[in-house]
Structure 1
Amino acid sequence: MATPGPATPEAPFEPSHPPVIEGFSPTVYSTSESFKKKFIRKTRENPMVPIGCLGTASALTYGLYCFHRGQSQRSQLMMRTRIAAQGFTIVVILVGLAASTMRSRP
């Protein structure tokens, strides 16, 4: 069994300075961005995600309205439409994530 080598003294931890992590730069997103500007930027990057979210919310709202009115068949159809819209949104998010990953590679 080998004995461990001598320990090298490290600088003490200072809370005022963030730790250095290889491959991570906290200053990349240093500019403060308002909610509106960020929403517009993200919508321009992947415009199908808000469309899928609006479709999901619309199908849910109309399905609940039909359920309240006693139209059970139409309510069931709208709930199935909502599931399809949610699936569409998830697929679009994953495709956008894969596309942005491919774009960031050198």
Structure 2
Amino acid sequence: MVDSNQESAGTSQMSDGAPRPKNKLTIEELSYLPPPAPFYVQQGLREKLLSKCKENPFVPLGVVFTTVVLALGLGTMASEKHRRKAQLMMRLRVGGQGFAILAVLAGVYHNTKMGTGKKG
């Protein structure tokens, strides 16, 4: 039997006689609930990269262009004969970076305008 002091304190007795708080639920009390559904689909790195490239293909194009031009520019800087070519490569690199940034901004604008952006 539960006395009134335990009842007013927010506890009840378990089958073994030990008091337990009223707001704690046991496994048996929760067994009727279905398992929780996942809120999102887990994607690996490759799947996520491919889906992002499909959303806005100009961003990876700008990044690859910038990387190639940077590598070529650094290679030409090593020799003193090709200073003009190295300067041209660095200018192309800046242009590639600008293209990549504009592609990101255009993709963000397109997603917000079309309402395909992910919420929350």
2:101 is equivalent to residue 90 of structure 1 = yes
* 1:22-37 alignment runs, 5 A limit: 30-37=40-47
Report Cα offsets for 1:12-70 as digits up to 9, x if no partner: xxxxxxxxxxxxxxx99622110100010000110010000001001100000000122
* 1:31-50 alignment runs, 5 A limit: 31-50=41-60
Equivalent residue of 1:32, what SS? Answer: coil
Name the % identity: 32
Partner of 1:100: 111
The structure number with the bigger radius of gyration is 2
Query: Equivalent of 1:75, from 62, 72, 86?
Result: 86
* 1:45-64 alignment runs, 5 A limit: 45-64=55-74
Structure 2: any 5+ residue segments left out of the alignment? 1-36
Structure ranking higher on relative contact order (CA contacts 8 Å, 6+ apart)? 1
Q: TM-score, normalised by structure 2?
A: 0.61
Q: CA RMSD in A?
A: 1.9
Equivalent residue of 1:69, what SS? Answer: coil
Alpha-carbon distance in 1 for matches of 2:39, 2:89: 40
Residues paired across the two proteins, number: 79
CA shift for structure 1 position 104: 1.2
Structure 1: any 5+ residue segments left out of the alignment? 1-26
